[in-house]
Each structure stands twice: as C-alpha cells, then as structure tokens.
C-alpha cells in the first residue's frame, strides 16, 4: 500500500504539470496600437540583474533592431553614468 501511495504522489504532480502546459492563452489585442499608428518608440534601458556587464547593451540592441526594421524611429534614453 505505501508503494502505491508513493507512486500516486509522483504521478499526480507530473500529470498536473502536463495539463497546465496545455492551457491556451488569449493573444493580446494590438488594435488600439495599430489604429494610433505610432511613428517612433522610446526604448528604455533595461535593468541589469545579471553578473554580465554587457547584458543591457546586448538586450537593447536585440529589442531595438526588430522595431527599427518594422519602420519605427527608435530613440534610446541614455542612462546617466
């Protein structure tokens, strides 16, 4: 009997995790953004919670490029040193 309880205690959380991964999320509605037709976007500097010194600059360039390729004028807010 204790073996069966241990087995159920192992299988039940795994089954719940599997089922929780199947939940479908509603996509965000960008209709208001598309209707306002912005021409420029301000990209704020990210907060660096890592030990990598260059992480904010890498992230900033990764975020800015797709926006610029979509036709937005991307301006950066410089963080005071």
Instruction: Name beta bridge partners: 19.
Output: none
pLDDT at 73: 86
**CA distances, 10 to each of 6, 17, 47 (Å):** 6, 12, 39
Average pLDDT over residues 14-40: 80
Measured distance CA(30)–CA(35) in Å, rounded: 9
pLDDT band per the 50, 70, 90 thresholds, residue 80? low
pLDDT at 55: 79
pTM given for the model:
0.47
* Cα first-last separation, the chain: 65
């Amino acid at each position: 009997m204790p073996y069966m309880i241990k087995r159920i205690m192992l299988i039940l959380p795994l089954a719940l995790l599997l089922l929780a991964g199947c939940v479908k999320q509603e996509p965000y509605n960008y209709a208001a953004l598309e209707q306002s037709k912005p021409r420029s976007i301000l990209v704020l500097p990210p907060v660096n919670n890592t030990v990598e010194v260059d992480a904010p600059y890498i992230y900033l360039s990764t975020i800015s490029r797709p926006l610029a390729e979509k036709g937005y004028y991307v301006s950066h807010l410089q963080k005071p040193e």
